[in-house]
A and B are shown apart, each in its own frame.
Chain A
Amino acid sequence: MRKKIIFFVFLLIFLILLFVGIILKQYDLVYNFGRFICFDCIGL
């Protein structure tokens, strides 16, 4: 029972975080980071 409670509490927390991110349209930020060459990533 304890394992189930821990699991569902964490699941709820992370789903809330995920939905907050979706509501804030953070996927648009992800898109903006990913669509151009990241010069930091390639070391330039």
Chain B
Amino acid sequence: MKKKFKISSRRIIQIVSFIVFNPYILLNPKAGKVLYQGKLKSLCVPILNCYSCPLAVGSCPLGALQQMIKISQIPYLLLGFFGTIGIFIGRYPCGNFCPFGFLQELLYKIKSFKFRVKRPFRYIKYIFLILSFLIPFFYKEPFFCKFICPAGTIEASLPQILFNPALLSNISWIFYLKIFLGIAFVFTSITTKRFFCSTVCPIGAIYGLFNRISLLQIKYDKEKCSKCGVCNAVCPMDINIYENTKDIDCIRCFECVNRCPYGALKVSNNFKK
């Protein structure tokens, strides 16, 4: 029998988010040649979405944060922005709004050998987070945007070069480094569930700190659980949610809640017992 094609509500949210954060092609057919310069660029999107992307109408919070530190400003606005989102919904934006996360989930569907990221490696993202504060402060360079960010490479570098070939004359070794890292992240996304999100992303690292105290939570009923492993199999971050429902890597996608055959997991708030 033919398998029925079914699209989950989370996939629809991910697609809609991508369009909402990157609609400039719909607003201006010349998008690509020109960057959106309207007032919406004063607002940050809650996820990694490069503001040099020809389609973007909002700003990347991590890019803005680093640029602010670079010019010796205390980024009150960005710290408040991350904190206010994190305290309510934790890493929910990673699981539902992030286009780069969405891309990684699609890449993981490609058949290949698969790897798991071991627990200690998941804390590497906090090194990237600390460096994203320290290097702009001491060396006046937006470290993460300049040397690492694969979202910037895919969403901004490649389209900008494509639409404005004149930029090719300014290419430096940093561009090749970013292309190399971009390709490396694409390959690791095929073999490992959301590799970039679990080991590198500084925005995920910030939101992850709030998973313990955020209002939005997952509750686990030990009595109902048979430890069948369905939750781990469907988890896009490859975590065992029944071991810790407040894991820093839980992106609040609720795939485990929806797929648990025993109803042992449910969406709840932190105030409920």
Contact = CB atoms under 8 A, between A and B. Distances in A.
Contact of B87 (A11, A16, A31): A11
Nearest to B153: A43
A7 B215 contact: yes
Interface string B203-226: 000000000010100000000000
Contact residues on A (Cβ < 8 Å of other chain), bracket: 35 or more
B138 interface: no
Most buried by A among B42, B44, B71, B172: B42
B117 to A, nearest CB: 26
Contacts of A26: 68, 73, 75-78
Interface string B160-201: 110000010011101111110000000000000000000000
A13 B176 CA distance: 41
For the residues of B in contact with A, the DSSP-based class is helix
Interface in A1-33: 3-4, 6-7, 10-11, 13-22, 24, 26-31, 33
Interface residues of B, number: 58
Contacts of B82: 14
A8 B79 CA distance: 16
Given A38-B63, A43-B146, A20 B76 contact: yes
Given A14-B87, A20-B76, A40-B141, A34 B41 contact: yes
Given A34-B59, A42-B156, A3 B41 contact: no
Interface of A: 3-4, 6-7, 10-11, 13-22, 24, 26-31, 33-44
27 contacts: A3-B271, A7-B215, A14-B79, A14-B83, A17-B83, A18-B80, A20-B76, A21-B79, A24-B76, A26-B76, A30-B64, A30-B77, A31-B39, A31-B42, A34-B60, A34-B64, A36-B35, A37-B156, A38-B156, A39-B170, A40-B141, A40-B142, A42-B157, A42-B167, A43-B153, A43-B171, A44-B167
